[in-house]
Amino acid sequence: MGGGRFSNDAYKRLRKIKDYGNKSREEIFTSREIDPEMDPTKAIVRESRDSEEHPETVSIIVALDVTGSMGFVPEHIVKEALPDLIGSLMEAGIEDPQVLFLGIGDFIYDHAPLQVGQFESSAELLDRWLTRVYLEGGGGGNNQEGYNLAHLFAARHTSIDCWEKRQQKGFLFTIGDEPVFPTIPAEIIKRYTSVDEAETITTEAIIAEAQEKYNVFHMHLEHNEWAKQESRKGNWKVLLGDHFIEIPDFKTVAKRIANVVIENHKPYNASADTNTASDSTEVENML
């Protein structure tokens, strides 16, 4: 996946053709159950690969809370904010971003607490996967969501060239307004991924696993007075430190994602790899 190239002009044409400016959330996000192509039990691995068109990919996962209180975020991104995300990265010199959208819910109460797209680069394909997300609108009254399913999927079911070829970590952003469950029970892992055997894992442990190949962030949206309460922020600060980011204005979230990537992405130094290889060869010859 990941073919094509994003441009603001292509996005504007797409937005005009689909008449997003005059459509409601329900008219854009028409799925009333999980899309079969986004079913995580069928997704053994999602790949972000380099190509002639995209020689130095940067893999970015954006996991969106799709419970009742948060459906406005994917709506805003698809209607207005894709250029804030992809266009900003390209303008800053990150020319080959590939973005995977996930839908995240409550794995105790929801039918589809994990939905997985594909890593994509073009406006058309990013729009395709984002608008296929099922805005279940569920969630429970337990003041917790299954954001840790995003860490689980990233850690165990993605393969990304930026890390595997260049030791450049990808980026994982979860976006929501609640704390995270303290564990992922084994039965939940088996129910919502492609594995047959699993063990319960703590959120701390699965975040650490994801951090092996991703820079992991959580963005807490303070979109109402309820979301501003400390009880709604849980222990994210303990889990992620400075990678826990509070967002007062949800309309800035796409731009903030881009800025975080720009600030933290480490440029690839091909000459360093060449020098390392040369040094290794010299050592071998000496031996």
Taking all residues of the chain, what is their mean pLDDT, rounded to a whole number?
91
Residue whose pair of structure tokens reads 């390392």 in the numeric block: 276
What pLDDT, on a 0 to 100 scale, did the predictor assign at position 264? 96
| Homologous superfamily of 8-286 | von Willebrand factor, type A domain (3.40.50.410)
142-195 pLDDT, tens per residue? 779 999 999 999 999 999 999 999 999 999 999 999 999 999 999 999 999 999
Burial status of residue 214 (CB atoms within 10 A of its CB: 0-12, 13-18, 19 or more) = buried
Instruction: Supply φ then ψ for residue 85, to 5 degrees.
Output: -85, -65
Alpha helices (H) in 101-228, listed in sequence order: 123-131, 148-157, 161-166, 186-192, 203-210
Query: Minimal CA–CA distance to 83: which of 136, 6, 158, 150?
Result: 6
The more confident residue out of 283 and 97 is 97
What pLDDT, on a 0 to 100 scale, did the predictor assign at position 137? 83
How many DSSP H helices and E strands does the chain contain?
A: 13, 10
DSSP state of 226: T
What pLDDT, on a 0 to 100 scale, did the predictor assign at position 187? 98
What pLDDT, on a 0 to 100 scale, did the predictor assign at position 277? 46
Q: What is the dihedral of CA 65, 66, 70, 76, to 10 degrees?
A: 100
Query: Minimal CA–CA distance to 48: which of 107, 97, 84?
Result: 97
**Ranges of each domain in the chain:** 8-286
Predicted confidence band at 67 (pLDDT cuts at 50, 70, 90)? confident
H/E segment holding residue 29? none
What pLDDT, on a 0 to 100 scale, did the predictor assign at position 281? 46
H/E segment holding residue 170? strand 170-176
Is the per-residue pLDDT at 279 higher than 80?
A: no
Is the per-residue pLDDT at 136 higher than 60?
A: yes
Q: How far are the Cα atoms of 33, 45, 105, 180, 226 from residue 143, in angstroms, in the given order?
A: 24, 30, 12, 8, 11
198-245 pLDDT, tens per residue? 999 999 999 999 999 999 999 999 988 888 998 889 999 999 999 999
* d(C-alpha 224, C-alpha 248), whole Å: 9
User: Residues of the chain with pLDDT > 70: what percent?
Assistant: 92
Neighbour order of strands in the sheet with 97-104? 114-116, 97-104, 58-65, 170-176, 214-221, 244-247
What pLDDT, on a 0 to 100 scale, did the predictor assign at position 275? 52
What pLDDT, on a 0 to 100 scale, did the predictor assign at position 251? 93
Q: DSSP for 184-205?
A: E-HHHHHHHSS-S----EEHHH
Q: How many CA atoms lie within 13 A of 79 on its CB side?
A: 18
